[in-house]
Amino acid sequence: MHPIYPSSRTTHPRSDVSDPAISLFLMINTFETGGSERQFTVLAQNLTPPQFQTHVGCVSRRGPLAHNFPDATQFPLGGSLFGWQSLRTRLNLSRYLRQLHVQVAHAFDFYTNLTLIPAARLARVPVVIGSHRQLGDLMTSAQFRAQAAAFRWCDVVVCNSQAAADRLIVTGLSPNKIAVIGNALPSEAFTAPPPALPKRPGVTRVGMVARMNHRYKNHSGFLRIAAQIHQRMPDVEFLLVGDGSLRQELEREALSLGLGAAAIFLGDRQDMPAVLTSLDVAVNTSDSESLSNVILEAMAAGLPVVAYDVGGNSELLSQLPEALIPAGNESSFADGVVKLLADSALRRQVGRNAQRFAQDNFSLDRVHQRYVELYVSLLQKKRRRNSVA
């Protein structure tokens, strides 16, 4: 199994410079602002000629990231993965892949795993890759079984954490069919732009970044922790970045907990580096994570992070003292944040260590090279096998 941290070796499998570009097809469900969608955007924009001719597809073009891919082809499922519309879509997608002479097809999430993988096999695409970018505990048992069945048709399944890979191995998928490649951080994630909210003397800020569509993100837990901190440190502000169907309910919770103006709801933001520069501590209270983009981006910005010890969080934070809190222990979580807020020197030290770790292991150049290695080596292996046959 490939390691989670991109290799720093200087020798990599590459296409010969005279080889034509590899026809690569990448597919995502939507262009919302979730972690998978943002990773898809970063990678698709950087897998470029002369080595790749990259084509992008989606199930639905909805979402604020869609403007990055004006030529993305839509393959709607009609509201069901198993209805007649979805079957016709897979046939249409298969024809589309043949027309483009796609050599590598890579699905990035649950819906595209169940859509692209069978269509690519039907189209006889040489290399077919799935993705498992969550632990799987948020799926129904039927969904997990369906995806596991699709994965058996893949050449490789990419997981973004060892925790996610281990879940697949337990189900019986061979470790040899799993590649663990962490999330990529573009260079701008390591910059320090002017803060979106200017710093104010005597005021420190704690921030949580998460879409407000799913309860497992545990915004309510964050607000309860914020209330504990607010009682001890009334000058702290709590920023909630993200939007969704739960927002109004969460705003009412913040009021009922007595946070008042200390709880600031910023909504969706496209200027995340500037938002992160506005913070002193970043937190993640999610009940389930594979490899958190939010934690990685906060580390890249030089912020200390406090998070629950779930999923792949330990793969990011185990080297940072007191960053990991036993799941559900809100009092300990509040204590960890207060300790950082009370000691600016500690915040700077922890933030520097976090940034160095993120730079060494998750920079876009390193992760991009891991994907190049994966695509090229799989395609070369398939070509050798076919030439022998």
pLDDT digits (tens, 9 = 90+) for 1-26: 544 334 333 334 444 445 789 999 99
Identify which of 371, 378, 379, 376 has the alpha carbon closest to the alpha carbon of residue 47: 371
**322-348: per-residue pLDDT in tens?**
799 999 999 999 999 999 999 999 999
Mean pLDDT of 375-382: 95
Nearest to 109 by CA among 290, 310, 366: 290
Please state, in angstroms and rounded to a whole number, the distance separating the CA atoms of residues 211 and 242: 5
Q: What is the mean pLDDT of residues 229-254?
A: 97
Tens of pLDDT along 182-200? 999 999 999 999 999 999 9
Planar angle of CA 292, 139, 178, nearest 5 degrees: 60
For residue 33, list its beta bridge partners. Answer: none
What pTM was computed for the model?
Answer: 0.86
Domain architecture of the chain: domains with CATH: 22-184+363-388 (3.40.50.2000), 188-361 (3.40.50.2000)
Q: What is the mean pLDDT of residues 270-299?
A: 94
What does pLDDT average to over the chain?
92
